[in-house]
Amino acid sequence: MFPVPVFADDDNETQVREFLVAPLLSHLGFCEADIETEFNILSRFGGTRKPLRADYVISVPNAFDLPPNRIVVEVKRPAIAITADEVMEQALIYGAHPSIQASHVVITNGRKLALFSISGTVVEPIAAFDVARLLEDWERIHALLGVDAITREFAGVRVQRLIGAGGYGRVYEVVHPGLRRTEALKVLQVGAEQVERMRDRFTTGAMGLAAPAW
């Protein structure tokens, strides 16, 4: 494990990146090929398109042949609170942007490390850690953000195994982290049938599974 850095109020983002974020991502199992720094996007403000730059965008292939996951890491200087309104707004813009569509957003100012998910237009907190206690919390951080964990993430759940596959989709056994229970997740096969027909069959099947047994 790398030495845990201690930052002062007058330290800057570059120092947080160099001494915390870069070694942290490496120890979580991400390689250089997974990480793009200074990821450029365009966003609309007041009717005009403004170029923005996300600090880190990490793309991770899924272990179950599902769409890859993406993580946005935003770095702030220690003097800025990571829960400030403008910081959270920026995290939402970056994470939900069509060119990124992140499954996770990580924000750090060198003192705190916070993990969020994005649901529509809401940034939902998952966990937060004191950087000073990084070693004590490492097992939990790795379980949430380690490359092995991220490759099994899909749509906010942890995929355990493929249960079966049919003509228009696949069914996976998953664990819902919020509800802490095992569920079945059906993923529709794009292009297998007309979209409306797929939706109707999917809804009918879901209603049947959800119906109480009398």
Largest CA distance in the chain: 66
Q: Which of 101, 47, 98, 104 is nearest to 74 (CA)?
A: 104
Whole-number Cα distances in Å, 149 to 28, 35, 140, 180 = 10, 17, 11, 16
Rounded Cα distance, 40 and 142, in Å: 28
13-154, which class in CATH?
alpha beta
Q: Are strands 153-154 and 157-165 parallel, antiparallel or unpaired?
A: antiparallel
Joined tokens for residue 68: 């890859």
Pick from 61, 73, 54, 91: nearest CA to 154: 61
Provide CB contacts within 8 A for 9, sequence distance 6+: 78, 79
Task: Tell me what pLDDT residue 105 has.
Answer: 94
The pLDDT assigned to 123 comes to 85
Tokens coding 171 = 């069914």
Locate CATH 3.90.1570.30 in the chain: 13-154
What confidence score (pLDDT) does residue 192 get?
A: 47
pLDDT tens, the chain, 214 aa long:
789 999 999 999 999 999 999 999 999 999 999 999 999 988 776 677 888 899 999 999 999 989 888 999 999 999 999 999 999 988 888 888 988 989 899 999 999 999 998 877 788 899 999 999 999 999 999 999 999 999 998 888 889 999 988 777 899 999 987 778 999 888 877 664 555 666 666 677 666 666 565 5
Supply the pTM of this predicted model: 0.81
Integer Cα distance of 175 and 118 in angstroms: 18
